[in-house]
């Protein structure tokens, strides 16, 4: 007998790929099932399980915005087994997708607010979805400030998008690279994100902040934001724990009683403060 099977992925075809950096690639994916192309909906910040058949599954955020129908995107960094196999695929190849999973960003709460969006490295992926969502619903949101950092100029993601976003009204893009990562032509900032944040010293003024990136960057950025007077329930971040099922069953992504795959990956700094340090 056939049973309800949430593990069965839908087939998606790679229709385009962009190499963001040496080890980071963005894939544009289209569902094989035409009905899914329109039907599939999600929230910025939600993620999926992507299958390379014969190899396995890996979790990536959906990097495109739900406002842009017909395709989804993901940006993945070359890490281990699945990401290596994914790197070997070409435009036209089929992979599997199941999702969307997780809670996503609280876009309803963010409506009408000024946003400060801080991203480091591949942490920009969920933020790209959020930014595009805001820009596509421009009137719903206030000023958008984007602070994007990477180790070196070559490691910066979404270069083209950043340029486009920066030209829009009410959007400010600030880019920074770690000291030593700059090139002679570099006109952005030089310094670690938390330091740059400290220097910019944004005022809370009812703003919401969304921070994504490597754990260490998140940690120090949260400290700076706290010092700058941002209320922890207005600081939003995402967690990354190892995952398998995405359904709250397999038992590995928990931080205390909370399953990151179901109850997360988006948490406020206030949520995190209540959880054990198991991440």
Residues that bind ligand FES (CB under 6 A): 243-246, 248-253, 259, 261
- Per-residue DSSP letter, 196: H
Smallest gap from Cβ 99 to ligand FES, in A, equals: 12
Contact 144, 134 (CB under 8 A): yes
d(CA 9, CA 2): 15
Smallest gap from Cβ 89 to another protein, in A, equals: 11
Residue 8, contacted partner among ligand FAD, ligand FES, another protein, none, CB below 5-8 A by kind: another protein
Q: Which residues contact 80 (CB under 8 A, 6 or more apart)?
A: none
Provide the 3-class DSSP secondary structure of residue 132.
helix
Q: Which residues contact 123 (CB under 8 A, 6 or more apart)?
A: 211, 212, 213, 214, 217, 238
Torsion angle in degrees (nearest 10) through CA of 179, 185, 186, 190: 30
Q: What are phi and psi of 143, to 5 degrees?
A: -65, 140
Which residue among 73, 132, 240, 263 contacts ligand FAD (CB under 6 A)? 240
Contact 21, 66 (CB under 8 A): no
Cα separation values, 263 from 168, 267, 279, Å: 34, 8, 15
- CA angle in degrees (0–180, nearest 5) for 233-64-96: 110
Q: According to the binding rule CB under 6 A, does residue 181 interact with ligand FAD?
A: no
d(CA 67, CA 275): 33
Residue 276, contacted partner among another protein, ligand FAD, ligand FES, none, CB below 5-8 A by kind: another protein
Q: According to the binding rule CB under 6 A, does residue 265 interact with ligand FAD?
A: yes
Contact 74, 61 (CB under 8 A): yes
Reply yes or no: is the peptide bond before residue 100 cis, omega within 30 of 0.
yes
Q: According to the binding rule CB under 6 A, does residue 81 interact with ligand FAD?
A: yes
By C-beta, is 85 or 228 nearer to another protein? 85
Mask for 182-221, x = binds ligand FAD (CB under 6 A)? ----------------------------------------
Smallest gap from Cβ 66 to ligand FAD, in A, equals: 16
Give the interface with another protein as residue ranges (CB under 8 A). Answer: 1-9, 11, 51, 53-57, 79-81, 83-84, 92-94, 96, 215, 240-242, 244-245, 247-252, 254, 256-257, 276-279
| Residues belonging to the chain | 279
Smallest gap from Cβ 43 to ligand FAD, in A, equals: 13
Residue 87, contacted partner among another protein, ligand FES, ligand FAD, none, CB below 5-8 A by kind: none
Smallest gap from Cβ 59 to ligand FES, in A, equals: 8
By C-beta, is 96 or 106 nearer to another protein? 96
d(CA 45, CA 92): 26
Residue 9, contacted partner among another protein, ligand FAD, ligand FES, none, CB below 5-8 A by kind: another protein
Smallest gap from Cβ 13 to another protein, in A, equals: 10
Residues in contact with ligand FAD by the rule CB under 6 A: 47, 56-61, 74-77, 79-83, 122, 125, 240-244, 265
């Amino acid at each position: 007998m056939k049973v309800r099977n949430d593990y069965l992925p839908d087939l998606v075809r790679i229709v385009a790929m962009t190499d963001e950096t040496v080890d980071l690639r963005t894939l544009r994916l289209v569902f094989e099932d035409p009905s899914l192309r329109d039907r599939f909906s999600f929230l910025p910040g939600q993620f999926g399980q992507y299958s390379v058949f014969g190899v396995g599954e890996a979790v990536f955020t959906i990097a495109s915005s739900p406002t842009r129908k017909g395709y989804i995107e993901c940006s993945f960094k070359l890490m281990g087994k699945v990401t290596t196999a994914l790197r070997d695929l070409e435009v036209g190849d089929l992979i599997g997708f199941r999702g969307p999973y997780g809670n996503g960003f609280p876009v309803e709460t963010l409506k009408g607010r000024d946003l400060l969006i801080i991203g480091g490295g591949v942490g920009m992926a969920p933020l790209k979805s959020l930014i595009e969502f805001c820009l596509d619903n421009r009137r719903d949101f206030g000023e958008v400030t984007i602070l994007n950092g990477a180790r070196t100029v070559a490691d910066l993601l979404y270069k083209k998008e950043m340029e486009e976003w920066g030209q829009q009204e009410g959007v400010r893009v600030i880019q920074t690279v770690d000291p030593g990562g700059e090139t002679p032509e570099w006109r952005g900032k030089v310094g670690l994100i938390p330091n740059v944040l400290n220097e910019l010293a944004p005022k809370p003024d009812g703003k919401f902040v969304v921070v994504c990136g490597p754990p260490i960057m998140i940690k120090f950025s949260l400290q700076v934001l706290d010092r700058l007077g941002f209320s922890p329930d207005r600081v939003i971040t995402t967690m990354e724990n190892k995952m398998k099922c995405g359904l709250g069953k397999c038992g590995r992504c928990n931080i205390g009683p909370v399953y990151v795959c179901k109850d997360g990956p988006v948490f406020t700094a206030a949520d995190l403060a209540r959880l054990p340090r198991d991440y």
